[in-house]
Amino acid sequence: MNTGQAVYEPRKKVRPGTKLLLGAASLLILAALGVLGISSYVGWNLTHPARQPLDSTPQSLAMSYEDVSFPSRIDGLALKGWLIRAPGSRDTIVFAHGYRKNRLNSDVPILPIARELNARGYNILMFDFRNSGESEGSLTSVGQYEVRDLLGAVDFIKSQPDLNRQIVLYGFSMGASTAIMAGARDLDVAAVIADSPFADLRSYLYENLSVWSELPSIPFNQAFFIVVPPLTGLQPNAVSPVEEVKNFAGRPLLLIHGLADADVPVENSRALQQAYPEARLLTVPGGLHVKNYEADPGLYIQSVTAFLSEIK
């Protein structure tokens, strides 16, 4: 019989253990969101580094040069650079700089190497990758799209009859890995010199991202691969010199790596040589990352010029 009176059910008690579980779950969710948020911030900064200004020119080492501009292959970004001519020579070396650097790559440094090679009869092209120096672009992709820039430089040299008898790519760090991929994709490249390359971007970042992010590898390295590809378009799987080097078809490749390189360990060049046994590997005792010329300038230049003389 309905008396019209409200019926109140007794409130169920929440066990203390349930409260603890809910609290712990909330903390874990907040921690995960924090890790993903920090990884997003770091990933954005790593793919959008500040440009370094050009604070010198080849003229500082008494080299005459001309300003040049050419488009990146495929997407047509305007790239800026310098052309240093060697009168009477049709052989050209194209330099490819490292991550966060510009055409000067002053931490190597490139200009003294360029002077040595120019004096030996090589035209030199130095240029800025996208989002570097004076070139267009707003994303640094650690080789994924920079390979298009380097191939654009190859196209530029190929279009110049007085420069294109023999084209050699010469890269450092990110530029070294990019040079290997560009050489593998364009058979008009006669040879490649790769100083301090990484072998595979995904594997490298998974093991060494903390070198650049300055964050603990666990859990931030794993979070990086979750948030950065959709956020920036960077696809580490698309950057694998160790796979592409197999398409070199017998052409010369000189790998140079410092035995004291903690940023990109020498095992990367050894893996590349294992994938392409025709490659030559010069290891430099005491050489830090892209500091092999600085560690032993005489050995370095002698080895590079000997390699170049064999492919002339």
pLDDT at position 30 over 60: no
How long a stretch of residues is the chain? 312
- Window from 3-17, 72-86, 211-225, 231-245 with minimum mean pLDDT: 3-17
Q: Is the pLDDT of residue 129 over 90?
A: yes
Interval 191-196 mean pLDDT: 98
90 pLDDT more than 90: yes
* pLDDT for 144: 96
pLDDT at 77 over 60: yes
Q: Indicate the pLDDT class of residue 24, thresholds 50, 70 and 90.
A: low
Q: Is 30 exposed, middle or buried (0-12, 13-18, 19+ CB in 10 A)?
A: exposed
Cα-atom radius of gyration of the chain, to the nearest Å? 25
Q: How confident is the model over 166-177, as a mean pLDDT?
A: 98
Per-residue model confidence as pLDDT tens digits over 144-159 = 999 999 999 999 999 9
How confident is the prediction for the chain on average, in pLDDT?
89
Which of 18 and 109 is assigned the larger pLDDT? 109
pLDDT at 292 over 70: yes
Question: Using 50, 70 and 90 to split pLDDT, how confident is the model at 9?
Answer: low
Domain definitions of the chain by residue range: 20-49+212-238, 52-200+241-311
Fold for the domain defined by 52-200+241-311: Rossmann fold (3.40.50)
pLDDT of 254 strictly over 90: yes
Q: Kindly report the CA angle at 242 between 122 and 43, in degrees rounded to 5?
A: 95
Tell how far CA 87 is from the center of its chain: 32
Cβ atoms of 128 and 204 within 8 Å: the answer is no
Say whether 196 sits in a helix, a strand or coil.
Answer: coil
Judge whether residue 262 has pLDDT over 70: yes
